[in-house]
């Protein structure tokens, strides 16, 4: 049984670090793990110091860990290309130009990027049988998480489209007199078949997200991050996707008590405010704070990652 | 040809004419109406699929674009009807033979 773990949060809070560290925890527990990054900036490559592509590739130096990076921009282009190919095969030359325009437009709407990403998510979920655990490092745009709330909405939308289509075909069939061939027939209608296929994918996604997925939000102890987290929590709750826990990253390390001086005083004050905020987070937010991670001097990569992993207190259920 | 056969042939012709007349006067306009209604529903379907053709962004147009290769007839007819149609009332007016 594959389970899916999503890490979301504002840009720059350290989602990649946390999800990579979590993936290390998973392989430590003996789970075959896949890390999926959707950030076009692709920081997974930096964390592991290796290049990854669109297909899962084993991470060198870690047993049982694979990683892949999704590029939504390329997904959109591929989708467009594929449809163009079909268009040329199916339509008469005169219509191709007309429809081409419509096609281009559809791929430039604000939703295209998200839809492509969502498609890819579903694709990964469908083909994840080889892995026990899939960790999604979602892109910083808040929309990625909002996207996951979509299957329900899309399902209903597709339902309505199918209903309309069925009604019009039904009328056409009724309008065909005697032996006349109706202009459209219900059976084998390619449109209905495609819509049905889409619908099934949305249903699948909705089911997996509700049943086999866990969501964690990563945040920093600052005001903006807290607000963003509050919003994400709301969106996910509305979609019936409860957040399992919060990870607070980049906490300032406390100076030793005997240390005095400008740096130490600054740190002490900083730690003080952060502690207040942390208390507030624990008080105001429903999901528990599952991990607090101190800031590191260097970029987290290599052996430092294992260090961070040991800070994580997210229980890795192995069943 | 016997008399009986000639009468039968005559009756057959009359029957055919009568059916044609009935069809032309009553059934055909009725079927036309149904067909027009079907077209209207189809237009609504097309509009729901491609609202961005009218500048309305749709969250599903990325998905409905996949239908385009199969919608040749519909798309052409839809465009034509959209251009022709002055108003909803005008179109509905056609359907009721005022």
Distances (CA, A) of A148 to A18, A121, A210, A211: 20, 9, 10, 13
State whether B61 and A154 contact (CB < 8 Å).
no
Interface touch A109/B34, C-beta < 8 Å:
no
Interface test with B, best of A106, A113, A202 (most B CBs within 10 A): A106
List strand residue ranges (DSSP E) for chain A, in order.
Answer: 3-8, 33-37, 57-58, 65-69, 133-137, 213-219, 243-251, 289-294
Tell me the three state secondary structure of residue A92: coil
DSSP B66: G
Instruction: Give the position of tokens 């999604």.
Output: A136
Contacts of B62 in chain A (CB under 8 A): 76, 79, 106-107, 109, 111-112, 115-116
Digit-coded pLDDT (tens) for B18-76: 988 988 888 778 888 888 888 888 888 988 888 877 778 777 788 888 888 888 888 88
DSSP string, B1-59: --HHHHHHHHHHHHHHHHHHHHIIIIIHHHHHHHHHHHHHHHHHHHHHH-GGGGT---T
Reading chain A (319 residues) residue by residue, the pLDDT tens digits are 789 999 988 888 888 888 888 998 899 888 999 999 887 776 788 888 888 888 899 999 899 999 999 888 888 899 999 988 888 888 888 788 878 888 888 888 777 888 888 888 889 999 998 899 999 988 765 566 677 777 888 888 889 999 999 999 998 888 876 667 788 888 888 899 999 999 999 999 888 988 888 889 999 999 999 998 998 888 888 888 888 899 998 888 888 888 888 889 999 999 999 999 999 999 999 998 888 888 876 666 666 777 777 777 666 665 4
Burial of A150 per CB tally in 10 Å (0-12, 13-18, 19+): buried
Q: Which of A135, A186, A147 is nearest to A165 (CA)?
A: A186
pLDDT of A13? 86
Cα dihedral angle (B40, B43, B44, B47), rounded to 10 degrees? -160
Q: What's the full length of chain A, in residues?
A: 319
Radius of gyration of chain A (CA): 24
Q: Distance between CA A268 and CA A262 in Å, rounded?
A: 10
Judge contact between A164 and B45, C-beta under 8 A: yes
Residue B30 in contact with partner chain A when CB distance is under 8 A: no
Q: Which of B31, B62, B66 sits opposite A112 (nearest CB)?
A: B62
**Both tokens assigned to A288:** 């528990």
The nearest CA of chain A is from the CA of B23 a distance in Å of 10
**Which chain B residues have a beta carbon less than 8 Å from that of A172?**
35, 38
Tokens of B80: 């034509």
Which residue among A76, A92, A172 places its CB closest to the CB of B72?
A92
Q: Measured between alpha carbons, how far is A251 from A234 in angstroms, rounded to an integer?
A: 25
Q: What is the pTM of this model?
A: 0.79
> What is the DSSP track for A35-91?
EEE--TT--HHHHHTS---SS-EEPTTSTTEEEEE--HHHHHHHHHHHHHHHHHHHS
Instruction: Report the residue of chain B nearest A99, measured CA to CA.
Output: B68
List Cα–Cα distances, A14 to A152, A163, A244, A273, in angstroms.
29, 45, 18, 20
CA of A80 vs chain B CAs: smallest distance (Å)? 9
Cβ–Cβ gap A175/B49 under 8 Å: no
Nearest by CB: B68 against A103, A161, A195: A103
Closest residue, chain A, to B61 (C-alpha)? A106
- Cα first-last separation, chain A: 10
What residue in B sits closest to A77 (Cα-Cα)? B62
Rounded-to-integer distance, Cα A241 and Cα A244, Å: 9
A7 phi and psi angles, rounded to 5 deg? -115, 125
- pLDDT confidence of residue A4: 92
Q: Look at residues A196, A80, A197, A216 and name the one whose alpha carbon lies nearest to residue A148.
A: A216
What is the predicted ipTM? 0.74
| Terminal Cα-to-Cα distance of chain B (whole angstroms) | 49
Give A103's contacts in chain B (Cβ within 8 Å).
65, 68
Interface test with A, best of B32, B49, B69, B75 (most A CBs within 10 A): B69
Contact of B55 with chain A, judged by CB distance below 8 Å, is answered with no
Q: Across the interface, do B59 and A115 touch by the CB < 8 Å criterion?
A: yes
B22 touches chain A (CB under 8 A): no
């Amino acid at each position: 049984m594959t389970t899916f773990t999503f890490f979301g949060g504002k840009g720059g809070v350290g989602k990649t670090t946390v999800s990579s560290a979590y993936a290390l925890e998973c392989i430590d527990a003996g789970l075959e793990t896949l890390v999926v990054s959707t950030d076009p900036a692709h920081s997974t490559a930096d964390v592991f110091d290796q290049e990854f592509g669109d297909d899962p590739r084993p991470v060198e130096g870690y047993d049982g860990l694979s990683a892949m990076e999704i590029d939504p921009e390329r997904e959109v282009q591929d989708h467009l290309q594929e449809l163009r190919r079909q268009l040329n095969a199916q339509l008469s030359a005169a219509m191709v130009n007309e429809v081409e325009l419509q096609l281009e437009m559809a791929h430039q709407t604000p939703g295209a990027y998200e839809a492509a990403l969502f498609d890819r998510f579903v694709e990964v979920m469908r083909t994840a049988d080889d892995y026990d655990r899939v960790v999604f490092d979602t892109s910083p745009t808040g929309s990625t998480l909002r996207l996951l709330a979509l299957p329900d909405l899309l399902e209903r939308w597709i339902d309505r489209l199918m209903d309309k289509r069925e009604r019009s075909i039904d009328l056409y069939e009724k309008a065909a007199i005697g032996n006349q061939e109706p202009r459209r027939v219900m059976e084998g209608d390619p449109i209905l078949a495609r819509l049905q296929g889409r619908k099934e994918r949305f249903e699948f996604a909705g089911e997996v997200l509700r049943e086999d997925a866990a969501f964690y939000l990563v945040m920093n102890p600052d005001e903006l991050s807290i607000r963003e987290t509050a919003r994400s929590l709301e969106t996910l709750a509305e979609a019936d996707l409860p957040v399992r826990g919060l990870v607070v990253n980049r906490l300032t390390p406390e100076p030793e008590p005997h240390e005095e001086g400008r740096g130490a005083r600054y740190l002490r004050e900083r730690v003080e405010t952060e502690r207040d905020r942390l208390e507030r987070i624990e008080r105001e937010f429903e999901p528990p704070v599952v991990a607090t991670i101190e800031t590191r001097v260097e970029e987290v990569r290599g052996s430092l990652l294992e260090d961070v992993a040991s800070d994580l207190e997210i229980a890795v259920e192995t069943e | 040809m016997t008399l009986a056969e000639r009468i039968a042939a005559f009756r057959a012709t009359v029957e055919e004419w009568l059916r044609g007349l009935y069809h032309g006067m009553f059934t055909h306009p009725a079927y036309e109406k149904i067909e027009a209604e079907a077209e209207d529903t189809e237009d609504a379907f097309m509009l729901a699929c491609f609202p961005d053709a009218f500048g309305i962004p749709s969250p599903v147009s990325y998905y409905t674009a996949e239908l385009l290769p199969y919608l040749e007839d519909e798309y052409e007819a839809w465009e034509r009807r959209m251009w022709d149609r002055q108003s909803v009332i005008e179109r509905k007016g056609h359907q009721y033979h005022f």
